[in-house]
Amino acid sequence: MFGSSGNTSRLPQMEQSGTLIIGPGGKKAKIDTSLPKLTSSEESALKKAQKYAMEQNIKMVLVQQTIAHKQQVGTCISVS
């Protein structure tokens, strides 16, 4: 088949017909894939959500660091 048989010939190009399906092998078409503009209230809500997500991420990192530090201090005390 198409494995390592040493056959390096390319597959013939076929005519594309029917409905356009975006994906590998599909012809590139000028399709507008941009997102619609956000309203000011949507922008505000998005910024609040991003800020909240960043705060939660920082909080999680600090908790993980605290746990790791406590474990490290605990092993140092039990060793000595």
Closest CA to 14 of 29, 1, 25: 25
Where exactly are the structural domains of the chain?
A: 56-80
3 pLDDT above the threshold of 70: no
Task: Give one DSSP letter per residue of 19-77, joined into a string.
Answer: S---STTPPP-----PPPPPPHHHHHHHHHHHHHHHHHHHHHHHHHHHHHHHHHHHHHH
How does pLDDT run across 40-75, given as a tens digit for each residue?
A: 999 999 999 999 999 999 999 999 999 999 888 877
- pLDDT given for residue 40 in this prediction: 96
Task: Read off the pTM.
Answer: 0.50
